[in-house]
Amino acid sequence: MCGIIGYTGSRPSAPILVEGLRRLEYRGYDSAGVAILDPGRTPLTVVTRCEGKIAMLAAKLEAEPVTGTSGIGHTRWATHGRPCEANAHPQRAGRVCVVHNGIIENHAKQRAGLIERGRVFMSETDTEVVAHLIDEIYDSAAGDRAAGDRAAGNGGAGDLAAAVREAISRLDGAYALCVVHDEHPGQLVAARHASPLLIGLGGAQGQLDLEETFVASDVAAILEHTRTVVDLDDGDIAVVDPSGILQLLDAEGRPAKRGRRRIEWSPLAAEKQGFKHFMLKEIFEQPRAVRDTLSGRLPQFRGSDAQAQDSLDFADLSGIDFATLADHHKITMLACGTSWHAALAGKYLVEQLARIPVEVDLASEFRYREPIVRAGDLVLAISQSGETADTKAALQEAQRLGAVGLAICNVVDSSIARAADHVLYTHAGPEISVASTKAFTTQLTMLTMFAVHLGRRTGALEAERANALLDGLREMPVAIDAVLGVQAAIKIIARRWVAARDWLYLGRGLSFPVALEGALKLKEISYVHAEGYASGEMKHGPIALIDENVPVVVLALEGPGYHKTLSNLEEVRSRGGKIIAVASSGDDQIGDLADDVILVPRVDPFLQPILASVPLQLLAYHIADLKGTDVDQPRNLAKSVTVE
């Protein structure tokens, strides 16, 4: 997730672009840049970029000012290529500059073709591929015009929108693009597919005094200047200049009209897209985050068609040689906090789907118990930030003992990612709230793909079963959306139990790590005592705590162990306990046993942890909000624990 802003008008563009990027910095902060069309320069478009935060870009522009009243800007959350100036946006090719949010899945194939045709690349990014494609197509079209007419000005500038349209027709994946070209001063071309992009209207179209137009990935970037916006639909291409929208085409290339909307949010609320807290916003970002984790990693075949593919063409995980990794006799997973809960679920998944033994260690304890690690063992380190000191130290100790290091991280080129021998990125986007939500569900998503791929490599998982699981992952964003749709009912439950001081969370099998995570979320942001237990362990101690004042959250999803879980509910009821059940849609038994029921869509039992964690996040959030705690920055906690 990156931040995009474009401006064209009569005012100096640099300050507007930089301030817009500051308001988008929550979307990415490892590099930034602007491309400004300066009439006094050759080439016309001046690109200024730097590694680091927006303050560094502002300082660079102050030292080396660029004039001009139109341009584009970008703050980056790295996906392809490490954070550095060369990989920062805008990316230039010839007379074209591009900023991009999203992931181009077929960038490697397109890059190879462009190199064969003589194009030279200066970065590792998928975005530079887009810039080269547009420049190549535009120049090819220009070559078809008579050279004399063009030199005399009779032919005019080429059709930049047509070049953008042709370029994106060759792309697979998600993108929001804003493009400028030296031959089109004052014009911006915007295009989107599966990534948000909007146009802000000033002048006569926006009922403001100034004629100026904006392009942005988020209203936060432009709210200081206009509150009238037009949201682009998937497949749209728009050409804008200071007077407004010159051309708007839909995915079929037909002229289109999109409605305007008035934004009433404050700038701070805009950064949160209208949500009260970043945590709630990030909970609602999970369908997109899971989709981005899956993007480009699943085979194109689905259902019965999948039988036509190679029997091992499952879950492409960044070119890692899993034929070798599947030969390891043991996997050790290292993590802390929420990531440790994801690792516990990963143990269930890998052992059951791939039949490889897995040990899960708290990274903070690993080095201090003289761990048994043999040369060739596989060690998997899991960390949202990639900077968790305990996890990095544990990974390095395992590598010192001869293990192969694999990391699952959200932040590209983070310390753990650099230390590992192999890395899998979740692409969840920046997570601002201290309490982790979308990082957890994307880690579970990645671990499921990891387990499916290993299962196919070891031969423990049949192709038909693997296909069913991958099809379920494809549908997971829709299922999460359905859970988010019952937020109002979860808030009612939260209000009913907001005064409770002690909570129990119970889960069996793959639901046990979710119970632990649900309890942790409540503790972190509500400062309420909560404990997670395996359901079968309730009789071995926790049952002594149960009375009418202790709500018991039970993960009672249909699948293996369901009937034993119902027996646990009966035991809680017989002791006066109050039950909040998370159950599968259509369950006609659970209503007779639970005081409150949260229904989630039916999914494969191996996919239930991803889905079942979402209502527990919402429950914890609403209890904390009702209590009035600082949800995004709970006391005594930091987002990334970078010291032991």
Catalytic site positions:
2, 639
Distance CA(531)–CA(427), nearest Å, equals 30
CA torsion angle 166 168 169 173 (round to 10)? 170
Residues 289/441, Cβ–Cβ less than 8 Å: yes
Find the helix or strand (DSSP H, E) in which 565 lies: helix 562-574
Distance CA(432)–CA(26), nearest Å, equals 7
Residues 448/349, Cβ–Cβ less than 8 Å: yes
User: Phi/psi of residue 267, each to 5°?
Assistant: -55, -40
The per-residue b/e assignment along 281-311, b for 16 or more CB within 10 angstroms, e otherwise, is bbbbbbbbbbbbbbbbbbbebeeeebeeeee
3-state secondary structure at position 187 = coil
Residue whose C-alpha is closest to residue 295's, from 206, 174, 202: 174
Rounded to the nearest 10 degrees, the angle between the axes of helix 487-497 and helix 608-627 is 50
What strands lie across the sheet with 237-241, from one edge to the other? 91-93, 96-104, 173-181, 188-193, 237-241, 244-249
Q: DSSP for 414-470?
A: -HHHHHSSEEEE-------SSS-SHHHHHHHHHHHHHHHHHHHHHT-S-HHHHHHHH
Q: What tokens does 4 get?
A: 């995009």
Question: Residue 101's beta-bridge partner residues?
Answer: 176
Q: DSSP for 207-270?
A: T-SS--EEEESSGGGTTTT--EEEEPPTT-EEEEETTEEEEEE-TTS-B----EEE----HHHH
3-state secondary structure at position 498 = coil
What residues contact 627, with CB distance under 8 A and at least 6 apart?
A: 498, 526, 527
What residues contact 511, with CB distance under 8 A and at least 6 apart?
A: 535, 555, 557, 608, 609, 612
Question: Residue 201's beta-bridge partner residues?
Answer: 213
Residue 640, classified by CB atoms within 10 Å of its CB into exposed (0-12), middle (13-18) or buried (19+), is middle
| Longest Cα separation, the chain | 92
Residues 131/35, Cβ–Cβ less than 8 Å: no
